[in-house]
A and B are shown apart, each in its own frame.
Chain A
């Protein structure tokens, strides 16, 4: 009985991070998601913009950001949130190699230059 986090759950976690405007698929995750659909693989956690490799414990997320905070702060918050979500739902509890979350920032939305960064 798997309690692994679904791709939909992860997407919700991604969207909840301040500064993440949304998932913005690039070539790699698009190809993987298409491949999963073609293989009719419903267990795959590939979605456009999101790729989870359970065996290797890696995740790739492709996102669009809004400049509400420095880019690296938003990215770090996103990585932590996804790691936490995956750790919480690990089928086998106990010390494990941590999930490696790679973020690809595809775009940063424009905003009139106002100088300051708004740190939360």
Chain B
């Protein structure tokens, strides 16, 4: 559940490091929702988001013994998820599926994410509407924002991370992160005004 203190995770992480599968499953239950929402808002595609979170949590299990500070589990697993999501965006960009193309499609069908980044939901609109409507609307707006700004904004405004943590997660300076978030906020405000 979001909002619980990190030290509640600490005991679970230590037990997971000790080999307790049940403890890691409890960590999965506690973090999967927020990791899914982060991935979905960045990727705007339910299936991609689920794949990213699955990969990230299984990788986290394989590497949990390497986590030196068990209290840092929350931001550590956010970092793994963020990197996986950015990886999806970069691979899609190389294939030539740009966010802009899908933005036009999205405008044509308001409230639907028709293809997302990888185009996987194309032809299966019923899959894509299985994301909460508000998440959907926000994800649509976010698609029109530069990916780096989008990722930082999501980690800050949706996941509640500190600027310092975000800087570590995205591997940039804190001032770069602040700049990206400020610009992202500006864009979102502009888009929200258009709705009036």
Contacts and interface: CB of A to CB of B under 8 A. Distances in A.
Contact between A and B in the complex (any CB pair below 8 Å): yes
A105 to B, nearest CB: 13
Nearest to A110: B22
Contacts of B21: 110
Contacts, number: 3
Interface in B10-46: 20-22
Nearest to B22: A110
Chain B: interface size category: under 10
A53 B186 CA distance: 73
A69 to B, nearest CB: 21
Nearest to B23: A110
Interface in A85-120: 110
A110 B18 CA distance: 13
B80 to A, nearest CB: 26
Contacts of A110: 20-22
A39 B22 CA distance: 40
A51 B21 CA distance: 28
A110 B26 CA distance: 14
Interface of B: 20-22
3 contacts: A110-B20, A110-B21, A110-B22
- 3 smallest CB-CB distances across A and B, nearest first, come from A110-B22, A110-B20, A110-B21
